[in-house]
Structures are given as structure tokens and as C-alpha cells.
Chains A and B, each alone.
Chain A
Amino acid sequence: MTTILSIKDLRKSYADGFEALKGVSLDIEQGEILALLGPNGAGKTTLISTICGITTPTSGNVTVGGHDIQADFRAARRMIGLVPQEIALEPFEKVWNTVRFSRGLFGYSSDNARLEEILRKLSLWDKRKNAIKELSGGMKRRVLIAKALAHEPRVLFLDEPTAGVDVELRKDMWEIVAELKQAGVTIILTTHYIEEAEAIADRVGVIDKGELLLVQDKNTLMAQMGKKQIEVMLSEPIQTIPDSLAEHNLALNGEGDMLIYTYDTHADRTGITTLLNDVAQAGLVLRDVQTRQSSLEEIFVNLVSGEPA
């Protein structure tokens, strides 16, 4: 794999002494989708803004495709597309003109065929003559993506791309991201929605208080830090867990009608068969059994709070 974006000890401090980024280092491979998770004020947008040139770094180095973002800013920025968190568009301008403007701004001559391709891909072709103010919120988000893609970037930053959009549009966005990945575009997205990272990311980075806590392959992260549980629902509630089940280290829910067994999916023996036998021998009647795996959200919350997953 080739590293397309390299961040070395990136720091950003403000005049009031606030450190938004505290030495972030990260390499991003060409063609991957990296999801940056973090609570509000964690430094996600500052990181993106610094790489894109909106914020000036205090120290550190960033290269995009081998081009330094400060010394060789033109070449670096030509490779980057940015979809901002807020919908920022000129309301009276037409869709076509605003996308053409973006292409020109990045130094490319107007290419109607290319612009048409982008607008069609984003289902905006029929709206090309409409003023931005006539579009729905979802369409405006698509226009932002079209503008970011107008100069054919190799790296695309999506800052909270699905914040405040309905479920259907969120799924549409995920499809667009998947298509871009297929076209070889490297995508870095920030999100509050863990299921978004879970659904589309190759790797997950967790950032909090300006520090990158970890960056890991999504599946590895889930496997390493995720727990799997069996929830055994009982026909009749019980007051306490029978002594014969003590060795299984079970938990009883508040209503007393569910036994929760936590186990390691990678262990040689999960102990599930023994558990179910012992439950039956203890005279408990089962109503249902289901398994549950901890989500990225739980992993993320545990990481940020400093507790083990």
C-alpha cells in the first residue's frame, strides 16, 4: 500500500493557550476509508481544517501525495477535496455555476463532460439550473460533495457528512462513499455516528482532547476490544443466581428474568454448552437466547472514558 497522507507530530495552539491538536501523527493509505471518531471539541474538525489549509498549524508536518501542505501548498491542495460540516453555499447561485466555480478555483479549466458526470452520479443533473436556495437540505449536501469532487481530488475529507440528515439520505451517502472508494479516492470522514464508521470505514481513529488515542483496522478493533455476550431469558424471574451457576460468572438483569454471560470469541472454549446444560440442570426454564456483540460506540465510550472495553 502507498501512503497518500502523512501527518507528523501536528500541533495547533491558539493565542489563549488552548491546544486543539497535541502532536497528532498518522499515515493514511491510498484508497482506504478512515473514520475519525471523537466527542465534540475533540479536535476532529481542527485536524481536517489544518490539513486543508483553513487553519495554520503551530508545528508539525503534513504531506499529501508527497507534497508538503505549506511549502508546496498548490500541489497538495489540488489533491484534496473537502466537504465541510456546515452547509455553506451561495443561495442565489445555480448548481451548475457553483460546481464549475469550484473546478476553476482549483486551477482546472471548465470541463462540461466531467461536471455532467459528477452531477449525474450525485443525482443533481436535473437540478443543475436550480438556484441553491430552491434545493432541499439533502440536495445541498450533495452539491457540497459535487463541489469537492469537481477538481477530481485523490483525497476527500468528509466532515460529519450525515449530521442531521434522515436515514435514507445517510444510506445514500454511504453508497456514494463506497463508489468513490471504488474509484480509488481516499476518504477521511469524521462522524458522531458510530454505525457510520462501522458500516463504511476500513480503519477507525479515535481522537479526544487533541490526541489520537488509537488508529486500527475496524474489524481488528472490534475483535480485540469487543465483547460478545449471551443473553439467556428466563420464563420466570429469579431473585438470585443459583449457586450451581456461580462458576460461570453470570450477571442478572434488574428484572431478574435475564442471565448475561460474557465470553471471549477467540478463546478455545467459550463455555456456552456447559452454561446451557448447567442452566437446565438448575431447573430454570428458558424463554429465549440471543447473542450480542459490543458496538464501536461502546468501545469508543470506553476508550474516551479511559475504561477497558
Chain B
Amino acid sequence: MNWSAIAAIYRFEMARFFRTLAQSFLSPVLSTSLYFVVFGTAIGSRIQEVEGVSYGAFIVPGLIMLSVVTLAISNASFGIYFPKFLGTIYELLSAPVNFIEIVIGYVGAAATKALFVGVVILITAAFFVDLRIEHPFAMVAFLVLTCLSFSLLGFIIGIWAGNFEQMSLVPQLVVTPLIFLGGTFYSISMLPPLWQTITLFNPVVYLISGFRWSFYGLADVPIGFSLLAILAFTGLCLGIIGWIFRTGWRIRS
């Protein structure tokens, strides 16, 4: 294992993050505050509680997931697409590194950044609502797994993308709608029966449900299903990345 290479990639990617630390820090704080103002205060005044949890506190896990998933994808896709765009990927391809090391470096950095933002949002949320975390280990596990798995997805998108427009295509057209429709701001039990059934085909439902369970013990789907879904998604992404590097698809001619 070329640990020096992993560290070099990780450090290089994190340097990009630290160059814009103020933005990296302020942006999630501001957007979370806005969500609390708009959803927590405006809608929360009409929906007092969801299954015994105040509406403001209820949406916290969903808000964290929304930001973490979006950032994990954008960080990882940008991280690997930028060298392709600039041409600096030649160095990566000619270095004594294998695909596992490249993935650990890039995905590890992207996941770290997303995790950082997730923690910032959690702390920000604590200023607005009373938070309780019933299963802290499960919460950390879900958060880390989400950061990792969606960073893997972002890495795939970054390799697939041929231009900047394509890079934002999947997050905007697929991921964001799935997150918004995945119970970020509501419990799926609030939906009509038909929509409840349709919603169960949305993989993000399992993610948010599991994460919310770690906070309040509330879940739309059994926690085992949530864990299985996130592990299966991680495995699928790893499989695709393995195939990409074996075949050199979109990287090596």
C-alpha cells in the first residue's frame, strides 16, 4: 500500500477545502439557519409536533443529510473531475498507485469535508432547537457511512462527467429531488397510503429514516432495512469504481 500517495492526495484535496475555509464554514451555517427560519418557524408554527418531536428538531436529521449528501457528491466529483479537466490526471495515472489508493485519497477527503459540514450543521441546529441523540454511535455510523457512500457516488459522477454541466446533472436532477421527497421535512406516515408505498422505492427514505432513528428513536422503515440499504449502496458504488479502474473507463485510453 502506497500510504504516502494516499496522504498526498488527501492533503492536497483538504488544502483546497482549507483555502476557502470561511466559505466552507459559513455557507452551511447560513443555509441551515435559513432552513430553520423558513421551515422550522413558518411551517413549524402550523405543525407543532411530529410523533412527539417538535417540528424544528424533527427536520434536523433530514437537513444534515441534505447538506452532507449534496456536499459529499460535489466534493468528490469535483475532486476527480478537476484533474481530468486541467489535464493533471496524467500524474495520477503515471504514479505508482493503484485504484484503491486513489479512491481512499479522494473519497476520504471528500467524506471528511462533508462530515465537517455535517457537524457544523448539527452544532448550528443546537442553537435553534433542543436536540437529543438517543443512539450516538448509530448516529456517527450513519453519518460517516453516508459521507463515504455519497462521496463514492460523487467520484463515479466525476469520472463519468465530460463537462461541468454533466457534473451537476445527477445531483440536480436525481439526488436533490430524492432527498426532498425522502422525508427530509416530513414523516412519510403523513402521506396518503399510495404515496407512502411509492416513497418506499426512494432509497434516500431509508437513509433519512435510519439517521432520524439515531436521534429520536423514530423511523419510517425498520432500522435494519436502513442499515442494509446504506451498506448495499456503498457496495454498489465500490463495485462500479472497481470496474472503472479495471477497464480504465473514461480515464485511461
Give the B-binding residues of A (Cβ under 8 A): 14, 49, 52-56, 73-78, 80, 82, 84, 86, 88-93, 97, 100-109, 147
Judge whether B173 is part of the interface by a CB distance below 8 angstroms: no
B-side interface size class: 20 to 34
With an 8 A cutoff between CB atoms, is B8 at the interface? yes
Closest 3 CB pairs of A and B: A104-B8, A88-B87, A74-B96
Instruction: Verify B2–A74 contact, CB threshold 8 A.
Output: yes
**CA A218 to CA B124, docked complex, whole Å:** 70
Which of the candidate stretches B11-19, B64-72, B109-117, B230-238 sits at the interface with the other chain?
B11-19
**CB distance B12 to A107 under 8 Å?**
no
Q: Which residues of A contact B7 (CB under 8 A)?
A: 104
A-B contact count (CB 8 A): 82
Complex Cα gap A86–B94 (Å): 15
When distances are taken between beta carbons in the complex, the residues of chain A under 8 Å from B90 are 52, 54, 82, 84, 88
Q: Is the CB of A105 within 8 A of B97?
A: yes
- Would you give 13 A-B contacts (Cβ < 8 Å), ordered by A? A53-B93, A55-B252, A75-B96, A88-B90, A89-B86, A90-B83, A90-B86, A91-B86, A93-B12, A101-B8, A101-B12, A102-B91, A105-B5
CB-defined interface of B12-29 with A at 8 Å, one 1/0 digit per residue? Answer: 100110010000000000
Instruction: Determine how close the nearest CB of chain A comes to the CB of B227; give it in whole angstroms.
Output: 36
Q: Is B133 an interface residue (CB 8 A)?
A: no
Chain B residues near A (Cβ < 8 Å) = 2, 4-5, 7-9, 11-12, 15-16, 19, 82-83, 86-88, 90-97, 248, 252-253
Complex-state Cα separation, A40 to B209, whole angstroms? 58
Q: Which residue of A lies closest to B12 (CB)?
A: A101
B94 and A54 form a contact (CB under 8 A): yes
Q: Known: A84-B87, A90-B86, A90-B88. Contact between A106 and B96, CB under 8 A?
A: yes
In the complex formed, the residue of B with least CB distance to A104 is B8
A283 to B197 alpha-carbon distance, docked (Å)? 109
7 more contacts with CB within 8 A, not counting A77-B94, A88-B88, are A52-B93, A54-B252, A55-B252, A90-B83, A93-B12, A93-B15, A101-B11
Given contacts A88-B86, A88-B88, A97-B15, contact A80 B253 (CB under 8 A): no
A106–B87 contact, CB under 8 A?
no
Question: What are the residues of chain A within 8 A of B97 when measuring CB–CB?
Answer: 105
Task: Using known A-B contacts A73-B96, A82-B94, determine if residue A106 contacts B5 with beta carbons closer than 8 Å.
Answer: yes
Question: Which residues does chain A contribute within 8 Å of B82, judged by CB atoms?
Answer: 90
With known contacts A104-B4, A108-B4, A54–B93 Cβ distance under 8 A:
yes
